[in-house]
Structure 1
Amino acid sequence: MEFAERLAALALKVKNQREAIQTEEATKNAFIMPFISTILGYDVFNPLEVVPEFTADVGVKKGEKIDYAIMRDGEVQILIECKKSTEPLRIEHASQLYRYFAVTNARIAVLTNGESYHFYTDLDAPNRMDDKPFLVLDLSDIDETLLPELSKLTKDVFDLDSVISAAEELKYVGQLKRAIAAQFREPSDDWVKFVTTRVYEGSFTQKVREQFTPLVTKASKQFLNDQVNDRLKTALGSSSFPSIPAEAPTGAVTSEAVVEADLDRDTETETTLEELEGYQIVKAIACSEVKPQRVVHRDAKSYFAVLLDDNNRKPIARLHFNGKKQKYLGLFDAAKVETKHAIESLDEIYSHAEAIRESVKAYA
């Protein structure tokens, strides 16, 4: 699997198992050791590469331990401090990292709960860990622009100098993106005033603030949707994405004859953003069993199909998203009989992950 695919597979595991992991030790075993091994490429069972419970005396503090130290050529390169998966990360959790960073040769420190990974270095003062991370990796919402830099910390292509040289830009770009995202989610009074005074010529009174706050929120969401749709239209070479009204039938239907009849590449079909997002979720789940390039999609008039090997006799799932209200996820049993499951949001596809994997296994 490619780097991004391995990361997506781990992210899916975290999503499915996070609530069942209640201790720090379980978090290490379920999430963090796989990250060190499958993502960064280090052998967690080789003490020349990964040292658990790494100890270094720090001033008057003797025998303190850091959860993991990643070694290269006998020198500590990366320190990792872990917290349990159900606990949000706070800067207070990094106290041991601060102390260890100053007494080892490490230039990278990582604070993680298995889902979020905060990467620190020493941009502000030499050999002193910064207060803010230069890179934040969130497995619940992976920012693909960070992957090239993250890959530089892997065993095969370890390039610390390149990471450090890019760290300052990464740090501020990341902080700016998170600040902008926060304003889009819940605009502050300053942001509302900043935007409003560019379209409203009167005095910015409390009444005007109350009037424009929901308008700024609505406009921000519509702007983001427009940007996503524009990019999708460009990628697909289409100028519009109208939804195709269709009645969503219930119950089970036999698939093979219907698949052959309906999965012809019909030029009248229009692919929606929601269908492509659903396809990416199904594909991420299926990738635990087969290579990602084997999972493809075809759009038909009445549904959007996800297939193995581009073969309409190997349906993995169908997305019935053309109805005006209710969405359905179609799944198949061993006899290729489809059963439709009502879903309210795309995230609910993950609750059917095991059934999707079983379909793939049956064909593979």
Structure 2
Amino acid sequence: MEFAERLTALAAKVRQQKGQIETEEATKNAFVMPFISTILGYDVFNPLEVVPEFIAEVGVKKGEKIDYAIMHGGTVQILMECKKSKEPLRIEHASQLFRYFAVTNARIAILTNGEVYEFFTDLDAPNRMDAKPFLVLDLNDVDETLIPELMKLSKDEFDLDSIISAAGELKYIGAIKRAIAAEFREPADDWIKFLTSKVYDGPFTQRVRDQFTGLVTKATKQFLNEQVNDRLKTALGAPNFPMANDAEIAATVTSEASVEEDPVETGIETTLEEMEGFHIVRAIVCGDVKPARIVQRDAKSYCAVLLDDNNRKPIARLHFNRMQKYLGLFDENKAETRVPISSLDEIYEHTEALRSSVRAYLEPSAN
């Protein structure tokens, strides 16, 4: 099994079992030890590779233990401190990691609750663990761009120099991406004020703030959609991609807005992956029907792609709420078949099935 597949399998296990994990020990046994063994590749039962409850002399803190020390080349290379699942990680949890980092050869420290893994090193000062992680792995939402870096910490491909040299860039790129994502989900006042100042010359009163909060939110979502469309046009080839006119675009926006549900009230939130998947499906079938007629409607368990905003005319369903993604395809009887996909690009492999669904609805006898 490939590295990414093992990570996917562990992420699925975490999602399935985290509701039953109540203690730190249960977290270690169910999630952390499998991470060390199946992802990083170290034998958790071999004290030459993994030392549980590792002890080092740390000033006046005699006999203080850290949860795991991972050995490589006969020396301690990675320190790991665990907290119970469902408990949000805080830098205060890393106090023992800070102390141990200074008195061992370890250059990597990991703080985890079994779901989120925060990786630290000493970028700011030699032999002193940084206060902020250079890499954050969330098994509830795995960032696939981090997988090559994570592999460098595995037993078979251990490359400390490479991971340390990349840590500075990883630290700030990761932090910037998380900050951007937060602004797109819920724009902060400073962000709203900054963008408003670029387009509005009047004073930034409370009324203006209220007005532009909604406008900034809509503009950021539309910007993302446009970026996705640009990628699709490039992938499909612009000459073969029929562009909608202004009226059709307006109709699409209106149609999508009419079915958009408030995630605060319903618990439904359309993810960027779902929006990108929707645009891929729409790009595929636009040779048979105008793009304005293809609409997405989100639900808690899947995102539906419909013809004419009619749930009796399903084209596809995007089951992206789990680590293993599925593309739902429909036959002539509207029976759904779920096809596992590992990336959004694999949707293109089902072009004919998607187009067949649309063509069936365009036939005179279709309901």
The total of aligned residue pairs comes to: 280
Say yes or no: does 1:305 pair with 2:345: no
Sort the Cα spacing of 1:232 and 1:4 in 2 relative to 1 into closer, same or farther, 3 A: farther
Note closer, same or farther for the CA distance 1:281–1:2 as it changes in structure 2 (3 Å cut).
Answer: farther
Segments of structure 1 that go 5 or more residues without pairing to the other structure are: 250-268, 286-294, 309-318, 323-364
Preserved CA contact (<8 Å) 2:57 2:63: yes
Displacement of 1:118 in angstroms is 0.3
Residue deviations 1:47-81, cap 9 Å, x none? Answer: 11111111101011111101001001220000000
SS in 2 for 1:163: helix
Partner of 2:198: 198
Name the SS of the counterpart of 1:197 in structure 2: helix
- Give the alignment's Cα RMSD to 1 decimal: 2.9
In 1, Cα distance between equivalents of 2:231 and 2:186 = 24
Q: Which letter does structure 1 place at the counterpart of 2:156? A: D
2:307 to 229, 239, 244: 244
Q: Per the alignment, in what secondary structure is the counterpart of residue 201 of structure 1?
A: coil
Q: Which amino acid aligns with 1:105?
A: N
Pairs within 5 Å for 1:350-361: none
TM-aligned CA distance change 1:305 to 1:135, over 3 Å: same
What TM-score do the two structures reach when normalised by structure 1?
A: 0.70
Residue 136 (1) aligns with residue 136 (2): yes
2:254 — aligned with what?
none
SS at match of 1:26: helix
Counterpart for residue 348 of structure 1: none
Please state how far the C-alpha of 1:195 moved relative to its aligned partner. Answer: 1.0
Matches within 5 A, 1:142-157: 142-157=142-157
Match of 2:6? 6
Residues 1-364 of structure 1 correspond to what in structure 2 (within 5 A)? 1-228=1-228, 230-231=230-231, 238=283, 240=286, 242=294, 243-244=306-307, 275=317, 277-278=318-319, 284=324, 300=331, 302=334, 304-306=336-338
- The offset of 1:151, in angstroms, is 0.7
Q: Which amino acid in structure 1 is aligned with residue 324 of structure 2?
A: A
**Deviation at 1:271?**
5.9
User: Structure 1: how far apart are the matches of 2:25 and 2:86?
Assistant: 12
Question: For residues 70-122 of structure 1, what are the alpha-carbon distances to aligned partners after superposition, in whole Å with 9 as ceiling and x for unaligned?
Answer: 00122000000000001000000000000000000000000000000000000
Relative distance call for 1:212 and 1:281 in structure 2 (3 A) is: closer
Q: 1:115-140: CA deviations, max 9, x gaps?
A: 00000000000000000000000111
The 3 A distance-change label for structure 1 pair 235 and 83 is farther
Alpha-carbon distance, 1:222 to partner: 3.1
| Rounded Cα–Cα distance in structure 2 between residues aligned with 1:6 and 1:165 | 26
Q: Secondary structure of 1:77's partner?
A: strand
Q: TM-score w.r.t. structure 2 length? A: 0.69
Shift of residue 234, structure 1, vs aligned partner: 5.4
In 1: Cα distance, 2:222 partner to 2:180 partner: 15
Report the residue type matching 1:184 in the other structure: F
Corresponding residue SS for 1:198: helix
Most deviating of 236-245 and 152-161:
236-245
Counterpart Cα distance in 1 of 2:232 and 2:49: 43
Shift of the 306–125 alpha-carbon distance from structure 1 to 2, 3 Å rule, reads same
Q: 1:265 aligns to what?
A: none
Cα distance in structure 2, aligned partners of 1:79 and 1:23: 21
Q: Aligned partner of 1:122: which letter?
A: D
How far apart are the structure 2 equivalents of 1:210 and 1:282?
A: 35
- Relative to 1, partners in 2 of residues 1:213 and 1:245: Cα closer, same or farther, differing over 3 Å? closer
Cα deviations across residues 133-190 of structure 1 (Å, max 9, x unaligned)? 0000011111111111011101111001000000000001111111111111111111
Aligned partner of residue 78 in structure 1, secondary structure: strand
2:28 partner SS: helix
Residue 232 of structure 1, CA deviation:
5.4
Q: Give the whole-Å Cα distance in 2 for the aligned partners of 1:8 and 1:120.
A: 23
Q: Deviations over 1:205-262 (max 9, x none)?
A: 221111111221222233334434554565577364623259768xxxxxxxxxxxxx
